[in-house]
Amino acid sequence: MTIKNIYNKFKIHPLNYLLMIIVALAGLYKEFLIIFFIIIIHELGHFSAALIYNWKVKSINIYPFGGCINFSESPNKPLYQELVIMLAGPFVQMLLFFLIYFFMRMGIVSSKLYFLFKNYHYSILFFNLLPALPLDGGRLLNILMCYLRPYKKSLKYSIYFSYFIFLILIVVNHHNFNMLLLVIFLTSKVIIENRNIDYSYNMFLLDRYLNNYDFKKTKTIKDKDNIYKDHKHIIHYQDRYVTEKEYLKKRFGNN
């Protein structure tokens, strides 16, 4: 993939332009550039890992507080690939921090600039690793839960836990207007995801029906909504046990 193709994937949210005006008025150019640079490198970490597994990237969205990559991919991609791609963002961000530290020790970067970078680096990193969707920590929680619980329940639990985390943030930071705006924005994303649970699950099943996945592990389940990722299933359906393919054919095929 060429640099031009990567550049074309980036989508700058309109709020960033408003932030630029505020930065220009306040004279906070250095702070803005550091935050923006960290976010770009972080998302390129996710993006690079996705390329390794040939995931199709639809867009890389950059917001004032962070970024988000939209994939045009199957919801049945292996969990280990999801995990690697998720971890790649924080990992590359840490590599960037160590590089800046090395430059500071070599005298290439000033101590003042290094400590400014360090503060924003850790603030973004730790906030992004909170176990709440759509942050990386929330994605990590959902991936780990998918190893233990069915796909639909994992998504529900991740969403409910996200509400809990955001409620704590609101209580703790109720005097911080910027944090409140950020939490409200993130909560709106989770509300949309919560409303789309049934749609997401249907797309998850439809993808399994349309594609002949060869999962190695098999589970026997009594509830048709308890289908796991990375597994094929024997399902109790209409008073008998049927294979997953038979069930999906009855659900999506021509009757």
pLDDT at 253: 83
Section 165-175 average pLDDT: 92
Amino acid at 178: N
Structure tokens at 129: 């690793």
Section 188-215 average pLDDT: 94
- What are the backbone angles phi and psi of residue 27, rounded to the nearest 5°? 75, 30
24: pLDDT strictly greater than 60: no
For residues 222 and 225, give the distance between their C-alpha atoms in angstroms, rounded to a whole number.
Answer: 9
- What are the backbone angles phi and psi of residue 61, rounded to the nearest 5°? -90, 130
Distances (CA, A) of 85 to 24, 139, 213: 35, 10, 21
For residues 106 and 14, give the distance between their C-alpha atoms in angstroms, rounded to a whole number.
Answer: 38
17: pLDDT strictly greater than 70: no
Sequence-ordered strand ranges (E) for the chain: 10-12, 57-62, 67-71, 217-221, 231-237, 240-243
For residues 50 and 53, give the distance between their C-alpha atoms in angstroms, rounded to a whole number.
Answer: 5
For residues 209 and 203, give the distance between their C-alpha atoms in angstroms, rounded to a whole number.
Answer: 10
16: pLDDT strictly greater than 80: no
Q: Which residue has the higher pLDDT, 62 or 196?
A: 196
Query: What digits encode the pLDDT tens for the residues 41-95?
Result: 999 999 999 999 999 999 888 876 778 888 989 999 999 999 999 999 999 999 9
Task: Count Cβ neighbours within 10 Å for each residue of 78-100 and write b for 16 or more, e otherwise.
Answer: ebebbbbbbbbbbebbeebbeeb
